Amino acid sequence: MRRVVLILLVAGVALALAWPLLDLPATVSARIGNLSIDVATPVALIGLLLLFGGLHLTLRLLGGLLHLPGSTGRWRRERRRRHGDESVTKALLALAAGAPADARREAGKARAMLGDTPQTLLLAAEAGRLAGREDEAEQAFRTLSTRKDAAFLGLRGLLRQAIAREDWTEAAAIARRTEAVQPGAKWLKQERTHLAIRASNWAEALDLAETDTARAALAAAASRVAPDEATAKRLARQAWKQDPSLSQAALVQAEQFRKANQESRAVAAVQEGWKSAPHPDLAAFLLRPIHDGLARVQAAQKLVAGNPDHPESHILLARASLDAGLTGEARHHLDMLRTAGVNQRRVWMMRAEIEEKERGDTEDGRQAQRDALRHAAEAEPDPVWRCLECNTPQPAWAPACPSCLAAGSLRWGAGPSIVTLPHTP
């Protein structure tokens, strides 16, 4: 409607301008050879206007013909792009719906229409993964990783595939490439840490650790596999400094002192570690060079002097006394544990040994042993290394939990808290 009104207005204006021309009295003459043409001025002007109009239309027509190939190409490109965008949308919907066949088909159409763009390559890779075609996914991810604008997406996909097939060497190499492309990504740092832990590459895991607790555990492990003594000593000092409450940190520091024939410093390190976190490994390290039973008891007494009321201190003294034949002293420490409510299996097992040594193969002795063993079967479990993150018990200490790969998460204990015995002189 607006266009009709506009045409009528333009026509009205043209007519208003042309109307006065009809009253012009003059004529226009043109002579071509012997031919002479005389026309009225209004007719001549109208003829010129028609001539210019026809010329303009002719030029427009010629221009359209010249640009026809380009216009057709643009139309085709727009059409392909429109259809390609529709395929991208359909592929996304198929991925969300968990329809792998539809997702692969639409992703293929999108690549055919739009080419290998980051979007189409990622769609093709994810569709391949959903359909179980890891070869297709890997090819798409590798193509994606060669693009400067989307290399991180391709490398991340390749990293996920390497981890899924447990190819830790390839995964570590891809992770390093990814770090170069996208430095500082938190997700990538966690993945690199887990890969280093899986490969027992404690030095690399230490460089990636974020907390003092994790760094202490990883430094202790790295110290034991260090390529030279200087590095081993430095890492041992680092572990001891960053987490004095970790018994393994004190132990690795003491190991370095013993290797350097500094036994007094090794003993001091173990004693300091026992104050913070008593553990049987510390006692085993200290008593290993001592073979005389009474000397072992004396060394154990010196070791626990800094933390005499801890259950591990009484356990150690009971064990050392029992091995030295001091059954009365051993029984005293076990009674102290029982009075404090410590009802662990190892307490009753040692009590069974005491009954056997004191009473021998007698009816009373056998009855006392059976009672102790019965209590042992019903007692609480002995302390173990347990992960603070996933609560999984572990048979031995490790710098990272074998179950959840959390670094520095293993702690020794029987439960959420440690029983402290009342002090006795």
pLDDT tens for 230-285 read: 999 999 999 999 998 899 999 999 999 999 999 999 999 999 999 988 999 999 99
Is there a domain that residue 357 lies in? yes
Q: Minimum mean pLDDT among 33-47, 313-327, 396-410: which range?
A: 33-47
Mean pLDDT comparison of 14-23, 96-105, 412-421, highest-scoring range: 96-105
What residues contact 258, with CB distance under 8 A and at least 6 apart?
Answer: 266
Note whether residue 371 is domain-resident.
yes
419 band by pLDDT with thresholds 50, 70 and 90: very low
Confidence class of residue 83 from pLDDT cuts 50, 70 and 90?
Answer: confident
Instruction: Of 23-27, 115-119, 225-229, give the range with the top mean pLDDT.
Output: 225-229
Q: Report angle CA 107, 112, 116 to the nearest 5 degrees.
A: 80
Cα–Cα distance for residue pair 113/94, rounded to 1 Å:
18
Q: Is residue 366 part of a domain?
A: yes
Determine the structural domain holding residue 353 and report its residue range. 345-379
Within-domain flag for 374? yes
The model's pLDDT over 355-390, given as tens digits with 9 standing for 90+, comes to 888 888 888 888 988 998 999 999 999 999 999 999
Question: How many domains, in total, are found in the chain?
Answer: 1
Within a domain: 373: yes
Q: Give a yes or no: residue 349 inside a domain.
A: yes
pLDDT at 422 over 50: no
CA distances from residue 272 to 100, 225, 370 in whole angstroms, order as listed? 61, 24, 39
Q: How far is CA 246 from CA 69, 256, 270, 277, in A?
A: 78, 16, 11, 6
Q: Which residues pair with 407 in a beta bridge?
A: 400
Query: Which of 41-45, 61-65, 176-180, 379-383 tops mean pLDDT?
Result: 379-383
* pLDDT, position 284: 95
Residue 9 located in a structural domain? no
Q: What is the pLDDT of residue 295?
A: 95
Note whether residue 283 is domain-resident. Answer: no
Q: Comparing 55 with 422, which gets the higher pLDDT?
A: 55
Written as six digits, the tokens of 251 are 């132990």
pLDDT at 424 over 70: no
> In the predicted model, what is the mean pLDDT of the chain?
84
